[in-house]
Structure formats: C-alpha cells, structure tokens
Amino acid sequence: MLEMEDKTMPIVIPGEIIASEGYRAGDNTLRIEGSIVATRIGIPRREPERVSVIPLKGFYMPREKDLVIGIVTEVTYNMWKLDIDSPYPGILPAADVFGRRFDPTKDDPLRKFQIGSVIKAEIVAFDRTQDPLLTIRGQDLGEVESGFLIRINPSKIARAIGRGGSMLSKIQQAIKSRIIVGQNGVVLLLTSDPVVREKAMMAFKLIEEEAHTYGLTEKVVDLLSG
Amino acid sequence: MTQSKKPLIDEQGLRTDGRTIDELRPISITLGYLSHADGSVLYEQGKCKIISAVFGPSEVHPKHIELPDRAILRVRYHMAPFSTEERKSPAPSRREIELSMVIRNALEPVIMTELFPRTVIDIFIEVLQADGGTRVAGITAATLALADAGIPMRGLVAGCATGKVGGKVVVDLNDTEDKEGESDVPIAFIPTLNKISLLQMDGIMTRDEFRQGLSMAINSCMKIYQIQVNALKSKYGQVEAEPTEEQ
C-alpha cells in the first residue's frame, strides 16, 4: 500500500506496465510477457501480492449481491427485463415476484410492473454467459413509487458512497433527505422537493467530475451548505 | 483537382507543406469531445479532422449476430459530404465499407472482446475534413475514443503512413503526396505488443525503400503513441489521494 500514502498518484493507461515480478494480476490488468500491464485508464493499486487498477471511467458490470436500480423495458409472460445501465439487461423472473404459486395462466405480470416501472433489486447470479438474475425479495427492495433519479458514471459510485458511507451520510444530512445508491450508477433521491433535487444533482455532478481529487468531501459539504 | 506546379520535394529536401521527409503534421487531441457517446475524441492531424465516438459494450440487436464467446466490433468509417474538395455522396461507398473492415481488423487485437460475450462495441469514425492518411488517423482516433470509454485494451494502436514521394521515402503523406506520389503504405502499430496490425500498400517501392519506409513509419507511430499517452494522462491531470473507497 505504498502508493496510498502519497497524495499524488500517476494515472496509468491501457498497455502501461505497472509491475513486473512478484505480483499477481488483479482487476483491470493483464500479464504480458512477465510484466503486468493496465488495461484501462485508472489509478494503480498495489497490495502486498496483487496489483490492480481502479478505473476512472467505465460502465457497470453486474456483480452478485449488488443493489441496482433499473427501469422495466420489456414484459413477457414470465419475467421482466430491466435496463440496469450495463452491457447486460437484468432479468426479474415472475416467480420471484409472485412467489412459488406463480401460474402464467392466472397471474399477469403486467398487473405488477409495467414498462417504465422503476425497481430496486439485488443481483442474485451473474456469470456473463447468462443475463444477470435479479430479486426483489429482501428488505427495502421492490418498485420505487416516488422520488428523483440521478445518473452518474458507475465508476464513481464508490466515491459517492465514501469510506464506510461517509460521503453519502454527509449529503443526506445536508439535504435532509434519504438517498439510495444503486451500484449501477443510478441514484434515487427520496424527496418530492425540486430545490433539494437541484442541490443533490449539483453535489453528484461535482463528485462525478472531481472523483479523483483530494478533499472532495469538504467541497461537497461546502457546496451544499453554501 | 488542379495539378500542383510545385515539385513534391524541393531542392532543400522539403515537402509541399514545408515538412522534412520524416516530420509528422501537427497533432491535436481533444478527448471527451461529445457528451452523449461513452467515449469520444476530436483528432486533428494537419488538415485532417476526425471525430471518433464509441458506444458500449451493449446488448446486440439483431440478436442473431451476437457471439457466445466475445463481443462483436462494429466499425463505421465515414467521410462527411463536405470533407473533400468536391462534394462526396454521403452514402457509404465501396471504399468506406472496406476501410471500416480494415480498421476493425487493426483494432481487434488490442480490444479485450472476450471479457464481454454477447455484447457489441460500436466505433464510429467520422472524417470531417480529409487530407490524406485518414484511415491511419482514424485508427489513432478510435483507439483514443476506446480508451476514453473505459473499454479494456491490451495497449494502444498508433497509425501512420509511409510512402515514396518525388523519389524519396517519406512519412505521414498529405493528400497531394498521396495522389501524386509513387506509393502509399498505411501502417498501424501496437507499441506494447510490438506488433503491426495494419499494413497496406498502393504503388511501387523497391524492397530497400519499403524496409526504410517501414522503420520510419514505426518511429513515427512511436511519436504518435507518445502524443496519445500524454493526451490520455493529461485529461485527468494528476490524481490526488485515494480516489475510491469501497463500501
């Protein structure tokens, strides 16, 4: 973790060598002829045995147990297809919503969610050979009835949450409203006040633009209190 | 097209635009030029102006063209109707369809398509103003747009042409040299893998001239590569402190 102690860190680009012997290739890296190279623009992260790159820009790749916020794009007789801002659409099976007694001849998926419904869901399974399987069984999951949606680049989500949720709780305190952050870059603002929405949008835009700078939490707090 | 009276190489060894035989045209790179695309760039090399935009990886439509083990690449190279001296028909020509394929083949070795099976990566190369060497400039631009979109790659591809003009081997031919010179050899080079991903030849060169041209083009590709690296790095400036914290 040597690099972490520095205040400035170099940016690596695809094809740049970030380590040679004695390391394992972690996320967003690749081993080419004995050296480990970065495969995306980002910041190298050196752990005792592994090097990885934290991307500065990218798209959302589904991961099991992630909370995502998606919008229904297709309804079939036994499932809903959700746009989760990822290369792969989320699949919410009707059996998950209706329970085990789901009967396609009796239950109509359209009665539950329609095209355009916003749904908070958790990813149950994903392995790239099949589209990510979603569930709404769990606390606080299901259709979103009201609120505002803000989209930010998924690679900035970790920064928007902050260490142990510090950034998110500061924003929530400042705007006095609950915020739910989907790992896919969709942020749900549980308020109906347009002024609060404007403030929150400014805060998330700032996070998105300056995610890689130092002292961002203070900047966001200043912005919201000013 | 008016025939230029000027010799292609003058007595001092300078070319029609005043460059030496191994000098590149000035390059300017504006990353993130478009706001709707996932990655984009405005790439200028001399009088060439090219916009490249990248979308994806995303779901494939129509579904039957998707591949079970990797992402498909869709490249569209297109010249704007106002990009040439005389109006060009905006419909894709035979040349543009072929160049789209050639560029796709040049980019495919670096893009890690195997990470995103059943998806598509769309690459658009729109030539706004053409002045020779647009296919190699298009490759250089598309690489930058791909990196800007955050698509995993094994390295960057840099493109540069070489050729024989007025009896001399030169690099980075402009439109006049391309049309009036003896030969034109576009080359795309991947510095990190030390591989050539595009090599075409139009016209006649001796074996020795070709060898000389190839090494000059690779040198020029390395210069372009360095400009690409600097552009990508300076887009984000110096990164300060730990940027991401996991939940």
Range of the domain at B152: 27-232
Interchain pair A128, B117: CB under 8 A? yes
CA B243, distance to chain mean position in Å, is 32
What pLDDT shows up at residue A101? Answer: 75
Instruction: Give the gap in angstroms from C-alpha A146 to the nearest C-alpha of chain B.
Output: 26
Question: Is A161 within 8 Å of chain B by CB?
Answer: yes
Q: Is B243 within a domain?
A: no
What pLDDT shows up at residue B87? Answer: 97
Q: Is B227 within a domain?
A: yes
Residue B238 binned pLDDT confidence (cut-offs 50, 70, 90):
low
Residues in chain A closer than 8 A to B148 (CB atoms): 41, 57
What pLDDT shows up at residue B56? Answer: 85
What pLDDT shows up at residue B244? Answer: 45
Predicted-complex ipTM score: 0.86
Interchain pair B243, A43: CB under 8 A? yes
Residues in chain B closer than 8 A to A38 (CB atoms): none
Instruction: Give the gap in angstroms from C-alpha B162 to the nearest C-alpha of chain A.
Output: 25
* B interface residues, A as partner, C-beta within 8 Å: 38-39, 56-59, 68, 110, 112, 116-119, 147-156, 190-193, 229, 232-233, 236, 238-247
Q: Please tell me which of the candidates A59, A89, A162 has its beta carbon nearest to residue B59.
A: A89
What pLDDT shows up at residue B22? Answer: 94
Report the distance separating Cα B12 and Cα A75, nearest Å.
72
Spell out, as residue ranges, where chain A has pLDDT lower than 70.
1-9
Q: What is the CATH number of the domain that holds B57?
A: 3.30.230.70
Q: Please tell me which of the candidates A40, A87, A165 has its beta carbon nearest to residue B56.
A: A87
Residue B241 binned pLDDT confidence (cut-offs 50, 70, 90):
very low
Walk me through the domains of chain A, giving residue ranges and CATH numbers: 2-54 (2.40.50.100), 67-143 (2.40.50.140), 148-225 (3.30.1370.10)
Question: Is A214 within 8 Å of chain B by CB?
Answer: yes
Q: What is the total count of domains within chain B?
A: 1
Q: How far is CA A88 from CA A114, A131, A132, A201, in A?
A: 20, 6, 7, 27
Q: Is B207 within a domain?
A: yes
Please state the rounded mean pLDDT for residues B43-59.
Answer: 96
Report the distance separating Cα A15 and Cα B181, nearest Å.
35
Q: Is a pLDDT exceeding 70 seen at residue B42?
A: yes
Tell the residue number behind the tokens 């980075």, with chain if given: B172
Angle at A159 between CA A90 and CA A164, to 5 degrees: 95
Which chain A residue's Cα is nearest to B192? Answer: A15
Q: Is B6 within a domain?
A: no
Q: What is the pTM of this model?
A: 0.90
pLDDT tens readout for residues B134-166: 999 999 999 999 999 999 999 999 999 999 999
Residue B236 binned pLDDT confidence (cut-offs 50, 70, 90):
confident
Q: Express the helix, strand and coil content of chain B in percent, nearest 5 each.
A: 30, 30, 40
Interchain pair A129, B117: CB under 8 A? yes
- Phi, psi (5° rounding) for residue B18? 85, 10
What pLDDT shows up at residue A210? Answer: 84
What pLDDT shows up at residue B45? Answer: 97
Q: Is B2 within a domain?
A: no
Q: Is B11 within a domain?
A: no
Q: Please tell me which of the candidates A16, A28, A162 has its beta carbon nearest to residue B152.
A: A28
Q: Is B208 within a domain?
A: yes
Report the distance separating Cα B143 and Cα B149, nearest Å.
10
Residues in chain B closer than 8 A to A39 (CB atoms): 112, 152-154
Question: Is A8 within 8 Å of chain B by CB?
Answer: yes
Beta bridge partners of residue B48, listed in sequence order: B45
What pLDDT shows up at residue B66? Answer: 94
Q: Is B123 within a domain?
A: yes
Q: Is a pLDDT exceeding 50 seen at residue B131?
A: yes
pLDDT tens readout for residues B80-90: 999 999 999 99
Q: Please tell me which of the candidates B39, B232, B244 has its beta carbon nearest to residue A54.
A: B244
Residue B124 binned pLDDT confidence (cut-offs 50, 70, 90):
very high
